[in-house]
Structure formats: C-alpha cells, structure tokens
Amino acid sequence: MTGMKKKKVFDRFVALVLSLAMLIVFPIVSFADVFAGTVDATNNTQAVQTDDSAAAESGNTGSDQDQETQATDPTDSDKTADEGNSDSSASDKDSSGSDNDSSVVKYPRQTFEDSVNGTKINVTAPEGALPEGTTMEVKAVANSDVKDAVEKAANREIKDMQAIDISFHKDGKEVEPNSKVTVQFSGMDMDGDSIQVFHMSDKASSADKVAESKSMTNASVEADQFSIYVLAGLGDNGKVRATYNFYDGDKLVDTQIVKDGETLVEPSVPAGSADKQFAGWATKADSNDYQTFGAISIPDTATEDYTVDLYAQYGIKQYVRFHSSSLDSSIILQTKSGVAGDTIKTNDVSVTTLSGQALTGWSTTKGGTETVGDEITLGDKDADLYPVISDVNWVTFDSNGGTYVDPEYALPGKNVAEPTAPTKVGYTFKG
C-alpha cells in the first residue's frame, strides 16, 4: 500500500510538472508562431497538444480540457498576425497597383528641335500641351504646291518662299497640342524686306497670315494647329496696297489693287435705267461722297494692306436740252443727262452762225444775254439752254508752215485772246 501510494503521489507530481510545463511553454510557442509563421511553430503547437493529451491520461482531465480549448481556439495574437498578413497583402496590392499610376499620361513642358533646308525649327510646348513621349516631324513642301494660295493672301510681290510641314506624333498617331505652343524659325536668309508667315491646312486650302517679321533671318508664331507653314519674303519695300472692289448692286464688276502714287481707273459706267442715272462710286457708309480717280495717296498711318468696297450710286435722271435758236425751243440740237449735283459741259456744243457772228455762250432764258459759262450744275429739275449769238470780229492766224491755229473772235471794242502758240520743227515761235 505504501508503495502504491508513493506511486500515485509520483504520478500526480509528474502530471503537475507536465501541466506547469504546458502553461509555461504553450504561450511561447504561440508567440513564435505568430511572428515567424513557420510550419515548425505549428508542429510545436501540435506537440504541446500531444503533451496535453498525455497529461489528460495521467488524470488531470479538467486542466487538460482547458488547455486543449486554449490550443484549438485562435488567440488574439493569432488574429493580430492574420490581420497583419492581410495588411501586408493589401500593401503588396497597393504596391502592384502603382503600375496603374504609371499608365496615366503626363503632359510635361517639352522642347523640340529639327531643321529642313537650312531652316531651324524650335518648338516650346508648355506643360499640358503635348503628352510625354511626343515626337516632332518636319518635311519640306514644294513651293509650287502653295504659291498661288500664298500670293493671293499676301497681295504683294513675293521675293522668296519656303514651305514646311510640321506635325507631332505619339505612339504612331498624329496629335495636336491642347494649347498654343511657340514655334521659332531661324537660320534663314530670305530675299525681300519682311517675312510673313502663313498657315495652310493642306496644299489645296487657302493661306492665312499668322505672323510677320521685319527680320529676314527669323520669325516666330504661337500656334495650336499644325500642318503646312509658309515663310514668304515680301518685296515692294513693304509698301501698303489698297484693294478697290467695285459693285453694281451685289455684283462685283471690277477689282483694282494700287500702291501709293499709282493710278485708280474709273470702271465702265453702269447703264442705269430709264429714270435713273449712274451718279458715281461710293461706300455704303457715305453714299454721297463719291470716289475720285487718278493717282491714289495711301495714308501714312496705314501699316497693313486694306480694302475699299465701292458701290454704284444712282440718282433721278435730269436732262439738259440745247436749243438751236435763242427764241425758238422747237428744235433741240443736243441733250445731255445727269443727276442732281452733276456738272454738264456747255462749251462743246456749237450752232451755225452767220458771217461776222459767233456763239458766245448759253443762257437759261430765251433771248437772254447772260451765259452760264463753260458748264452748268444740275439741280432737281431739267434745264433748257438757249444760244447767245453776238456780232463779233474774227481774227485768223497764219502760222507760216507751223501747226494750225484756230480763228479767234472778239466782241466789238474788246481784244482777241492770245491763241495757242504754233510749233514748227527746227524753229522756235517768238510771237
């Protein structure tokens, strides 16, 4: 009995020692498992559980069940480790997600440089204008392909020309800037007195002036559309030209381009109608201020070519009737017409007179002696003119082999006006 009691005491002692060992060792294993996450730590846990079973067989059943439950259920440390692993995975995902950030297209400030036929092209694109990785391509364009359009737009003599096609590309596709970029052309040596820069969307389009430079070696332009740019060296010492367009109603009947001092020629007079007569050419803004013709004076204040649109003006037709007799209005020698304000010449209409008489003028009254002079200004009514015939003294001139001199007359008691001097080859007229 004493031996069996001793054995039971010993067994209980062993069980107590194992239980204490389990309480001490199990948390350490769990802590290592959380932070190391290794299979060995798991095996250690399983080993502890095995030890717990052995302890249970030794009779410490209640304590063993408590410890088995503790080993089976996840601890707070295990949960924290799992959450930490989850956070680590999320971090890895975010790290891999940075690849998406790299796919966002950036638009940094960029500069481009190229040259064609000795002309340098430098482009500065501000931030936001072109995507990162954009390339610039420049190509020469035949002058013959754009000459007509540029000459029409320049409206001046072109002494020199260079056409360049500029384009931008990204990933094999042509792109246009989102905002204006600065394009600098340099290294040229163009003929002329100034450079004008024109833009054309293609070879068949019209040319639009976008910049001008007084230098013949460089020019610049701000642009957000790219295709063909033409550098044109202009002549005429930069003289301004005036373009005159003449309209009869909505129909363009004539166009003339003149520089300072050149002659503006009056177009053919429109036919008018039965009751209206052409009065002159004027702008719509001031239909009573008629354009004069002859040498044109370009204002000093004009720095660019300009256009004047003139329209045919019509008025109520008025007539001037020239009668053959100073007392009889039944016979009309000639009729002239005009509108109010027009001047009608009278000194180019003649009548037949008797010897010793002469037509000395035209009067607005029958039998009148007061003449209207060499011309009459029309009012708002027709005018009738009657000849004033007077007794005169005629004087004829013998030019002695020189050019013919018309006879002159003088009223009684008056002197004869000096005639036009005759000319004769090899001689000087002295009187």
CATH code assigned at 332: 2.60.40
What are the backbone dihedrals phi and psi of residue 214, each rounded to the nearest 5 degrees, phi first? -80, -15
Separation CA 167–CA 419 (nearest Å): 77
Q: Is residue 96 part of a domain?
A: no
Same domain, 152 and 223: yes
pLDDT of residue 63: 40
Q: Is residue 300 part of a domain?
A: yes
Strand, helix or coil for residue 227: coil
pLDDT of residue 9: 65
Q: Is residue 352 part of a domain?
A: yes
CB 229 within 8 A of CB 188: no
The DSSP call for residue 169 is E
CB 147 within 8 A of CB 207: no
Q: Report the number of distinct structural domains present in the chain.
A: 4
Q: Give the Å distances, CA to CA, from 84 to 36, 97, 100, 231.
A: 12, 19, 25, 68
Separation CA 306–CA 258 (nearest Å): 10
Identify the burial level of 99 via C-beta atoms within 10 angstroms of its C-beta, where 0-12 means exposed, 13-18 middle and 19 or more buried: exposed
pLDDT of residue 159: 87
How many CA atoms are closer than 13 Å to the CA of 44, on its beta-carbon side?
17
Same domain, 120 and 215: yes
Same domain, 131 and 207: yes
Q: Is residue 331 part of a domain?
A: yes
Same domain, 269 and 352: no
Same domain, 247 and 222: no
Same domain, 19 and 76: yes
Q: Which of 238, 270, 303 is the last residue of a domain?
A: 238
What are the CB-based long-range contacts (under 8 Å, 24+) for 406-410?
A: 409/358
CB 162 within 8 A of CB 230: yes
pLDDT of residue 101: 57
pLDDT of residue 97: 42
pLDDT of residue 6: 58
Separation CA 236–CA 323 (nearest Å): 55
pLDDT of residue 25: 54
Same domain, 117 and 226: yes
Same domain, 130 and 207: yes
Separation CA 279–CA 248 (nearest Å): 12
Same domain, 67 and 127: no
pLDDT of residue 172: 94
Separation CA 164–CA 115 (nearest Å): 10
For residue 35, give its domain range: 2-89
Q: What region does 341 belong to: left with phi over 0, alpha with psi -120 to 50, or beta?
A: left
Q: Which of 316, 332, 362 is the last residue of a domain?
A: 316
| pLDDT < 50 stretches in the chain | 28-99
Token readout for 97 is 């997600």
